[in-house]
Structure 1
Amino acid sequence: MSNWSELEVNLIIQIYFEMLRKELSNRRYSKTEYRKNLLPLLNNRSEGAIEFKHQNISAALIKFNQPYIKGYLPRFNYQQILDEKVAAHLENHTDYEKLFKIYADRDVEKRSIDNYDKMLVKPPAIEEVNEPKISYTRNPIKVNYLEREQKNSKLGYLGEKLIYDYEKWNLTKMGKEKLAQEIRWISKDEGDGAGYDILSKTIDGQDKYIEVKTTKLGIKTPFFFSDNEFEFSNRNSKNYYLYRVFDFENRSRIFTKNGGLQEICQYAPVVYKGYF
């Protein structure tokens, strides 16, 4: 299949952002309807090709550190023109930054959980993510709203509360009520400088250091961590667990990974400190 033309790229970006606007505003829409309306305007593209390109646009938005459509998990192998067109669209529609800000800062409600068993899912495989270099020299939006969403204090608190309750439930379910009583919510009671959030227990009574990262977005949304968290995880890799809470507003789900951050995910430095 030939590369997408400039006209096709412009059309699918326009459609993607129409859907994104509705999703971030909690308005209902049909991906299928948008896709079927787009098909006749393209050069003999299949519905699968449209889905793939939508996933490419999600990846481009993640490169610009912005929210994306949850249903289109990012795929980073795409034409360079896509970066330029996504950036240009954001520059020409400056109201999206206000929408991203509202989404990142928006209060979330505590969710009642009927069945913890259904929350745990298989973690995504570590795939080689080679993000194309952004040829577009100007960043269309300066604020990293992906990180800002993760740092939303209410969202972070509720995500940690969810895992605190989950750990108590899980140990109790396995007949370890005494261990369940020993769980401590470190970040709430002692501050966030410990390098982890919750001190739980394994089934055999060993310490279990849990770092909770929560997002309203999808399973492959990048997460952000500090040097302190990184170093602590690597020093205590045998007992360190990342709990990733995602899709928090709809039907919160969790995956877990055991080990230091240097081994359980790909990572890249995003901030440097300069000394004189």
Structure 2
Amino acid sequence: MLRRELTGRRFNKAAHRRALRERLNNRSDGSVELKHQNISAVLIEMGIPYIDGYKPRFNYQRSLLPAVVAEYLKHNPEIQALFLADSEMTPAIPSVEDFLAAREAPPARDVRSPTMVAEGSVIYNPIGMNYLEIEARNQLLGGAGEQFVINFERARLIHAGQEALADRIEQVSVTVGPSAGFDIHSFEVNGSDRFIEAKTTKYGKSTPFFITPSELRFSRDNASRYFLYRIFRFRTDPRLFALHGHLEGQCKLEPSQYMAWPA
């Protein structure tokens, strides 16, 4: 199913689930669905995209499922090549009739059990590549997502009767650069500043994103005016949700790399 999704081919989740149930002593639809969601969680922790529609659920047997997924990946190198090609691909900017209708609520947090926290959450892809991080470094995709956010913000302000403010929106990632600490300077309807960081993915709503220490500090120092816009499903049906305020209170933060030097 993931192969089909990444290559734009249709598939039937219900038919696939029925076929699996016949091979699993007719286990319930719910149990098969949950196992797919557990696999999504393993893939996310390995830095691999998951099937959109199977929201990651982290309440799985960590001593078994990651090893099974890793074994499959080792014996199917062609799917790793597909992940790499897709992570580096930038789709054409999809056409959107109603930008304001693209906004959704942020995803609900998936609470991890104390046992899972004690066991740790880092699982490594046996090939050693984080495809979600590769996608996050795709500057063309990031720029396309920023243009989507600018169009969304223009629509929001024009809808509120503030066309003059809409004309003043600035893509500071271009005019200033990374030192600005955010990507887009927009406005509230009363004219006050709205600082927006845009993070774009072709994958599902629960796909994690990457932030730098300077971006995190900027969200802290400008919490009342700071928004992170997460754009997802950018391949065909772009949607977004917004996080307002210091990101430390909005996200579960995990280190993804360390700076090291000889002791």
**Under TM normalisation by the shorter chain, which class is it?**
over 0.9
Question: How many Å separate the matches in 1 of 2:174 and 2:122?
Answer: 42
Which residue pairs with 1:38 in the alignment? 20
Whether the 8 Å CA contact 1:84–1:135 is kept in 2: the answer is no
Whether the 8 Å CA contact 2:57–2:110 is kept in 1: the answer is no
Matches within 5 A, 1:1-276: 19-80=1-62, 81-129=64-112, 133=119, 139-275=125-261
Q: Give the letter for the 1:74 counterpart.
A: P
Change (3 A) 1:44 1:30: closer
Question: How many Å separate the matches in 2 of 1:164 and 1:35?
Answer: 40
Structure 1, gaps ≥5 residues long = 1-18
Change (3 A) 1:137 1:247: closer
Q: TM-score, normalised by structure 1?
A: 0.88
Question: How many Å separate the matches in 1 of 2:171 and 2:106?
Answer: 24
Identity %: 41
Write out per-residue CA displacement over residues 99-134 of structure 1, whole angstroms, 9 at most, x where no aligned residue. Answer: 101110112101221012320111123343465647
Change (3 A) 1:211 1:101: same
Change (3 A) 1:143 1:273: same
Structure 2, gaps ≥5 residues long = none
Question: How many Å separate the matches in 2 of 1:109 and 1:137?
Answer: 32
Q: CA RMSD in A?
A: 1.8
Q: TM-score, normalised by structure 2?
A: 0.92
Whether the 8 Å CA contact 1:84–1:136 is kept in 2: the answer is no
User: Displacement, 1:170?
Assistant: 1.0
User: Displacement, 1:33?
Assistant: 1.2
Question: How many Å separate the matches in 1 of 2:158 and 2:73?
Answer: 49
* Paired residue secondary structure (2:236): helix
Q: Give the letter for the 1:218 counterpart.
A: G
Whether the 8 Å CA contact 1:242–1:256 is kept in 2: the answer is yes
Q: Give the letter for the 2:231 counterpart.
A: V
Question: How many Å separate the matches in 2 of 1:200 and 1:270?
Answer: 30
Question: How many Å separate the matches in 1 of 2:207 and 2:238?
Answer: 14
